[in-house]
């Protein structure tokens, strides 16, 4: 059975993750939550080694591990929705063997009477 302390710690970390997500972004919030969850997992593993399996720490470890996986999935889902950088097209078109693989270049405004450095 999961201890009340671990359940409360997981709930506190999740509440903090949600608040941080509103202030910054999903990735940063998930990274912070994962750091705290890994610290909690380390403490529970240490407790399991020192006190033995009768202390209920194995169930705590399972609960924290499940929460870590859930937050990782959230972070992964957030990473897939990243917007492309400005100036880049979101998808590239594949060019077949018989097609030109270049686009016409816009040469911009030219000044009159100058050779442009040639010649």
pLDDT digits (tens, 9 = 90+) for 52-82: 777 677 899 999 999 999 999 998 887 665 4
| pLDDT tens-digit map of 31-41 | 999 999 999 99
In a domain, 106, yes or no: no
Rounded Cα distance between 10 and 69, Å, is: 13
In a domain, 65, yes or no: yes
In a domain, 43, yes or no: yes
In a domain, 47, yes or no: yes
Pick left, alpha or beta for residue 95 (phi over 0 → left; psi -120 to 50 → alpha; otherwise beta): beta
Domain with 19, as residue range(s), is: 4-79
Rounded Cα distance between 119 and 36, Å, is: 66
The answer, yes or no, to whether residue 20 has pLDDT greater than 70, is yes
pTM over 0.75: no
Listed residue (44, 42, 16) closest to 31, CA to CA = 16
User: For position 44, what pLDDT does the model report?
Assistant: 92
In a domain, 116, yes or no: no
SS3 92: coil
In a domain, 58, yes or no: yes
In a domain, 90, yes or no: no
Who wins on pLDDT, 1 or 110?
1
Exposure class string for 104-118: b at 16+ Cβ within 10 A, else e: eeeeeeeeeeeeeee
For the chain, what is the domain count?
1
In a domain, 74, yes or no: yes
- CA 80-63-60 angle, 5° bins: 150
Pick left, alpha or beta for residue 49 (phi over 0 → left; psi -120 to 50 → alpha; otherwise beta): alpha
């Amino acid at each position: 059975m999961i201890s009340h302390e671990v359940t409360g710690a997981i709930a506190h970390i999740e509440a903090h993750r949600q608040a941080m997500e509103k202030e910054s972004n999903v990735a940063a919030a998930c990274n912070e939550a994962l750091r705290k969850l890994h610290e909690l997992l380390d403490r529970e593993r240490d407790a399991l080694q020192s006190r033995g399996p009768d202390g209920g720490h194995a169930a705590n470890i399972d609960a924290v591990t499940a929460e870590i996986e859930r937050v990782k999935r959230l972070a992964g889902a957030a990473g897939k929705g990243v917007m492309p950088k400005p100036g880049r097209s979101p998808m590239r078109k594949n060019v077949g063997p018989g097609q030109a693989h270049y686009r016409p270049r816009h040469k911009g405004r030219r000044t009159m009477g100058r050779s442009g450095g040639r010649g």
